[in-house]
Amino acid sequence: MHRYKPLKILLPYLWPKNNPKLRYYLVAALLFMIVAKVGTSLVPLAYKAIVDRLGGDQARLLAVPIGLILAYGLARVCASLFDELRNVMFIYVSQNATRLLGLRVFRQLHALSLRFHLERRTGGLSLSIERGTQAVSTVLSRVLFSIVPILFEISLVAAIMWRLLNIWFAVAIMATVGAYILFTITAVGWRTRFRRELNQANADASNKSLDSLLNYETVKYFGNEAFECQRFDSSRRLYERAAIKNQFSFTVLSIGQTAVISVGLVTMMAMAARGITQGTMTLGDFVLVNAYLLQLYQPLNFFGFIYAEIRQALIDMDNMFDLLTLEREIEDRPGAAPLRVTRGEVAFNAVGFGYDARRPILGNITFTIPAGKTVAVVGASGAGKSTLSRLLFRFYDVDAGAITVDGQDIRDVTQASLHRAIGIVPQDTVLFNDTLRYNIGYGNTDATFAEIERAARLAHIHDFIVSLPDGYETRVGERGLKLSGGEKQRVAIARTVLKNPAILVYDEATSALDTQTEREIQTHLREVSRDHTTLIIAHRLSTIVDADEILVLEDGAIAERGRHGELLAQNGRYAAMWQHQRREEQDQQTA
C-alpha cells in the first residue's frame, strides 16, 4: 500500500457526510486552534512592549503599564484556554473515526474465509488491529492539531518579525525551520526500518507467548516448560537487539535536530545583538526575538517526535488497512436471496473439492439427506468427512458440482440465511471465556433466560449447572478449560438447541469422549435430532447404527452406502471397520 494511502482512507471519517454534528465540531476545533495560535504569537509582542516601556529613560516617571501586563496575561490565558477547547471539540471526531474504522476492520475479519484464519497467527493479528486503531487517533490529532498549528505559528511569527524588524529575521526563521524539517524527514525515513524490525520482533514474541499459554496443558503434558521459555527468550533477544538499534537511531535523530535548532538560535541572537549595538533595534526587540525563538523551540523540537510518531502510526495503520484490501474468498453473489427452508432437504450433487488444486479431497460426491432424516458419513482419517460439513456451511465453495438446500444452490443464497439454517456441534467445542449463561445464550443472543434454561434441560446439563456455586453465572475459563469434555459437549448441544436450526451437523461430536459419556451424549443428540435433517460425521460406528443411511467415504469417494444391517451383510469395508472397532472395545473392557 502507498505510504499515504491510509490518509485517503481516513478523510471520509474525518468529515462524515451523514453526521453534520461532527463536522461542526471539527470546524469549531480548527477555529479554536487558530485563535490559540494567534494568542500565543501575541504574547511576545506584549512582552516587548512592557520591556520597552519599562526600559526607557522616562520609565521612572511613568505609571506601571498595567494595561500591557494584563494584555500579556490575557494572551497567555487565551492561548491555553482555546487549546483546551480545541481538544474537547476534536475528541468527538477522532474517537468516532477510530470506532468506525475499528468496526470496519473487525467486520472484514469476520467476513474473511476460514482458510485465512487457519493460516494467520491470532496474536499478531490482534496486535495489528490494536496498534492500527490507536494509530488512527494519533494521525488525526497529530496532523490536524500538531503539524498544521506548528506550520501556522511559524508562518505567523515570520510575518510578524518581517513586519516589525526586517526580512532577514524572517529568512533566518524559515531557513532554520526548513533545514530542521528536511533533516527530520530524512533521518526518520532512515530509522523507519529499525522500527519495523522492532514491531516484527514484538509480534513474534507476542505470538510465541500466546501460543504457549493457549496450549498450557500440552506444554505440561510433555514437560516442555524450559523449551517454551527458551523459545520466548530467543524472541525477546531479537526484540532486545531491535530495541537497541531503534534507540541508537533515535539518539542520532535527536542530536541532529538539536544541532540545527542551535545554529538557528545562535545566528538570530547574533543578528539581534548587532541591531542593538547599531541602534536599529531596541532592548524590547531583542527580547522579542529571544521570546519567539524560545517559543518556537518547543514545538520545533516536538515536531521531530510528532513526525516520527506519524510515520510509525502510518506503518501501523498500513498493517491494519492491508486487512481491508484482502479479497473475501466467500462472498454473497449480487442479488443473492435469503435461503427459504421449506422441508430442509440437503443434496450434494457431483461435488468435487480440494483445499489445494494440486491435491483433490473430494471427487464426484453425490447423496441426499431427505427432510427429517439422518445420514451418517464414516471413513478413515483424511478421507474428507469433515470437509463435507465445511462445504455445507460454505466455509469454502465447491470446485465442481453443487450443494443444495430444498433445491436452492447455497452459492446463490445469502451466507447469513444459510448459517441460520444450520447448527453444528463440532468435535472440539471452543467456549468463550465467559459464563455458562453467555455460552449457551450464544446460540441465540436474543433468547430469554427461560429459553436458555430450557435448552440446557434438553441437553441434560441443567442439573450440573445448578449444582455449581455460581450456577449459570459460572465462568468457564479460556476455551472452556474449567469444564470436562462431556460438559463442554453438552454446552455445545444446548447452544445448538437454542439456535433451533432446520439442519443439524454433528462433526465427530463425541469421538474425543470416553465410552460412557459418549453413550449418554448420543442419547441426548438423538432427542435433539428428532424431526431435523441431520448429517453425522462419525468415527465410532456404534453411534450411527440407527442412521437412515450410512456413507463409507474412501479417498474422497463413496465406497459403500446403505443402512447398518445392509452394510454388514455386504461384508465389505464397513463390515471390516465394524469388526475392528468391536474387537478394540472388547480388548478395552477386558483390560
pLDDT at 561: 92
pLDDT at 417: 93
Residues 435-456 have a mean pLDDT of 91
Higher pLDDT, 512 or 531: 531
| Banded model confidence at residue 72, pLDDT cuts 50, 70, 90 | low
Residues 133-149 have a mean pLDDT of 76
Identical fold, 5-325 and 346-590 = no
Residues 385-401 have a mean pLDDT of 90
Higher pLDDT, 126 or 374: 374
Q: What mean pLDDT, rounded, does the chain reach? A: 80
414 within 8 A of 338, measured Cβ to Cβ: yes
Give bridge partners of residue 402 from the DSSP assignment: 349
Whether residue 573 is predicted with pLDDT greater than 80 in this model: the reply is: yes
pLDDT at 122: 56
Please give the share of the chain, as a percent, with pLDDT higher than 70: 86
Whether residue 71 is predicted with pLDDT greater than 70 in this model: the reply is: no
Whether residue 298 is predicted with pLDDT greater than 50 in this model: the reply is: yes
pLDDT tens digits, one per residue of 232-241: 888 888 888 8
Fold of 5-325: ABC transporter transmembrane region fold (1.20.1560)
| Residues belonging to the chain | 591
129 within 8 A of 311, measured Cβ to Cβ: no
Whether residue 522 is predicted with pLDDT greater than 50 in this model: the reply is: yes
- What is the homologous superfamily of the domain 346-590 according to CATH? P-loop containing nucleotide triphosphate hydrolases (3.40.50.300)
Whether residue 380 is predicted with pLDDT greater than 60 in this model: the reply is: yes
Compute the chain's Rg from CA coordinates. 35
Give bridge partners of residue 431 from the DSSP assignment: none
Residues 313-321 have a mean pLDDT of 77
Distance, in Å, from the CA atom of 471 to the CA atom of 80, rounded to the nearest integer, reads 55
pLDDT at 369: 93
Strand, helix or coil for residue 505: strand
Residues 167-194 have a mean pLDDT of 82
pLDDT at 401: 93
Helix ranges (H only) for 143-224 are 148-164, 167-214, 216-221
pLDDT at 258: 79
Cell numbers for 225: 516448560
pLDDT at 6: 61
Least confident of 137-146, 434-443, 564-573: 137-146
Distance, in Å, from the CA atom of 187 to the CA atom of 191, rounded to the nearest integer, reads 6
Phi, psi of 364 (to 5 degrees): 55, 50
Nearest CA to 269 out of 283, 297, 292, 290 is that of 290
Inter-residue long-range contacts of 524-528, CB under 8 Å, 24+ positions, other chains counted:
524/458, 524/459, 524/460, 524/490, 524/493, 525/425, 525/493, 527/458, 528/458, 528/459, 528/493, 528/496, 528/497, 528/504
Whether residue 453 is predicted with pLDDT greater than 90 in this model: the reply is: yes
Phi, psi of 117 (to 5 degrees): -70, -25
pLDDT at 60: 47
pLDDT at 28: 82
Higher pLDDT, 93 or 337: 337
pLDDT at 318: 77
Domain spans of the chain?
A: 5-325, 346-590
pLDDT tens digits, one per residue of 14-40: 777 777 777 787 788 778 777 877 777
Angle at 165 between CA 164 and CA 166, to 5 degrees: 120
Least confident of 60-74, 76-90, 330-344: 60-74
261 within 8 A of 299, measured Cβ to Cβ: no
Amino acid letter, residue 401: G
| Banded model confidence at residue 410, pLDDT cuts 50, 70, 90 | very high
pLDDT at 513: 62
Cell numbers for 257: 535536530
37 within 8 A of 145, measured Cβ to Cβ: no
Q: Which residues have CB under 8 Å from 537's CB, separation 6+?
A: 376, 377, 385, 386, 388, 389, 505, 506, 507, 508
Q: Which residues have CB under 8 Å from 556's CB, separation 6+?
A: 360, 361, 362, 363, 365, 383, 384
pLDDT at 230: 86
Whether residue 59 is predicted with pLDDT greater than 50 in this model: the reply is: no
